[in-house]
Amino acid sequence: MIQAEISIYPMATKTTSASFYIAKAIESIQKIENLRYQINPMGTILESDNIDVINSATKIMMEVVHNLGIARVEVVIKIDSRRDKHLKMEEKLDSMKKHMEK
């Protein structure tokens, strides 16, 4: 299973808020087969068993922001590829939480 955290930063917008552009980018990947996503305050986690799906989603998200009139888009991606276990993002969180004091 592969999880990737993607953060998209539209540059030189007319406002300090990026939420409109990020929302449109996320809308653009909602129907991609074999892709799950989870939004968080600092980015979006993409999940698939195929890196090509994640790469395609990343490209689509970037292009959507460009097509909204943004000439420069910064994209930061962090990838976790694991082949010894097939853990979904929720299971990874549950594993970590087991080690936290209550």
In terms of DSSP H, where are the helices of the chain? 19-27, 51-67, 89-97
- Picking from 71, 67, 53, the residue whose alpha carbon sits closest to that of residue 24 is 67
Residue partners of 28: CB distance under 8 A and separation at least 6: 60, 61, 64
Q: Give residue 76's pLDDT.
A: 97
When pLDDT is cut at 50, 70 and 90, the band that residue 92 belongs to is: confident
Are 36 and 48 contacting, i.e. CB atoms less than 8 angstroms apart?
Answer: yes
The structure's pTM equals 0.87
pLDDT in tens, 7-56: 999 998 888 899 999 999 999 999 999 999 999 999 999 999 999 999 99
For the chain, domain boundaries: 2-97
Token readout for 81 is: 């590829």
When pLDDT is cut at 50, 70 and 90, the band that residue 72 belongs to is: very high
Tell me the fold of 2-97.
Alpha-Beta Plaits (3.30.70)
